[in-house]
């Protein structure tokens, strides 16, 4: 804690470090090998914040890296005990969807009492958005994906404006501005200690990695590499055979 002067000679204490809650994706563990960029970014964010002296709690899958200060959210899904009548109702959705819904619902109902100074919503689930105004703690939501029906529903159902929204790119921010005011663009970062700039050992080659789908832009990376006179290795899971 540090002491600082406030107007009129009044003195107050301002925190040098914060208690931060990170609402992460519950679908995949936040650990290596990462399921995708969202999990990698969440891991790096939590690790760097802790290295700066902040207290960090990551609400994520129980299988996540314990060094991040993980509090499991998926355990709450196992507490959902549906009656036979409810399970057989025509409105019943896929169990995985319902389990994730229940886990985030339980988390948001108790999040306000955890004493965090700020909550970073790094998930892509609609409930943290929909219930943001029910949590007294200030919330920052990072928009990682283009709008989906569920996320837009979560935004439009909020009782009042709550929280700050940032986007990972200008393109993504433009897609969202119909639904929400994007405060700023904060691109995803990488750990520069592990990913150093430079040519491959085999000079004249480049590498692109990620899910092989059109929206990830592997074709643009190939075109850019060829324009620069480089061969390029493309590596990643093929989620779109036709595009591949």
Q: Which two tokens stand for residue 41?
A: 């970014």
Distance, in Å, from the CA atom of 103 to the CA atom of 122, rounded to the nearest integer, reads 15
pLDDT band at 161 (very low <50, low <70, confident <90, very high): low
Tell me, what's the pLDDT at 10? 44
* pLDDT beyond 60 at 91: yes
Provide the terminal-to-terminal Cα distance of the chain, rounded to the nearest Å: 54
Say which residue, 165 or 155, is predicted with more confidence: 165
Sheet containing 139-143, strands listed edge to edge, beginning at the edge strand earlier in sequence = 70-72, 55-60, 19-23, 118-121, 139-143, 164-167, 184-185
The dotted CATH code for 19-79+92-185 is 3.40.50.11930
> Mean pLDDT, to the nearest integer, of 81-104?
89
pLDDT, averaged across the chain:
86
Closest CA to 222 of 231, 214, 213: 231
Q: What is the residue whose two structure tokens read 């990682």?
A: 144
> Mean pLDDT, to the nearest integer, of 70-95?
83
Local structure of 47: helix, strand or coil = helix
pLDDT in tens, 218-238: 999 999 999 999 999 999 889
Q: Which residues contact 112 (CB under 8 A, 6 or more apart)?
A: 134, 135, 136, 137
pLDDT band at 244 (very low <50, low <70, confident <90, very high): very high
pLDDT in tens, 176-201: 988 888 999 999 888 888 887 765 55
Rg (alpha carbons) of the chain, rounded to whole number? 21
Q: Where are the domains of the chain?
A: 19-79+92-185, 198-243
């Amino acid at each position: 804690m540090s002491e600082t002067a406030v107007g009129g000679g009044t003195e107050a204490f301002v925190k040098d470090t914060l208690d931060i809650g990170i609402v992460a994706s519950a679908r995949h563990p936040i650990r290596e090998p990462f399921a995708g960029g969202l999990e990698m970014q969440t891991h790096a964010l939590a690790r760097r914040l802790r290295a700066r002296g902040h207290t960090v709690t990551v609400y994520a899958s129980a299988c996540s890296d314990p060094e991040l200060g993980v509090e499991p959210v998926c355990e709450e899904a196992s507490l959902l005990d549906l009656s036979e009548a409810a399970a057989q109702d025509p409105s019943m959705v896929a169990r995985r969807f319902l389990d994730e819904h229940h886990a985030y619902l339980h988390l948001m109902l108790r999040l306000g009492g955890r004493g965090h100074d700020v909550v970073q919503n790094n998930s892509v689930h609609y409930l943290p958005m929909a219930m943001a105004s029910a949590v007294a703690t200030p919330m920052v939501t990072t928009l990682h994906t283009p709008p989906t029906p569920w996320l837009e529903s979560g935004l439009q159902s909020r009782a009042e404006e709550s929280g700050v929204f940032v986007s990972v790119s200008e393109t993504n921010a433009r897609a969202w501005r119909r639904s929400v005011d994007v405060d700023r663009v904060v691109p995803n970062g990488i750990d520069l200690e592990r990913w150093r700039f430079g040519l491959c050992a085999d000079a004249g080659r480049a590498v692109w990695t990620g899910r092989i789908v059109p929206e990830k832009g592997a074709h643009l990376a190939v075109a850019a590499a060829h324009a620069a006179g480089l061969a390029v290795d493309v590596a990643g899971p093929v989620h779109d055979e036709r595009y591949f």
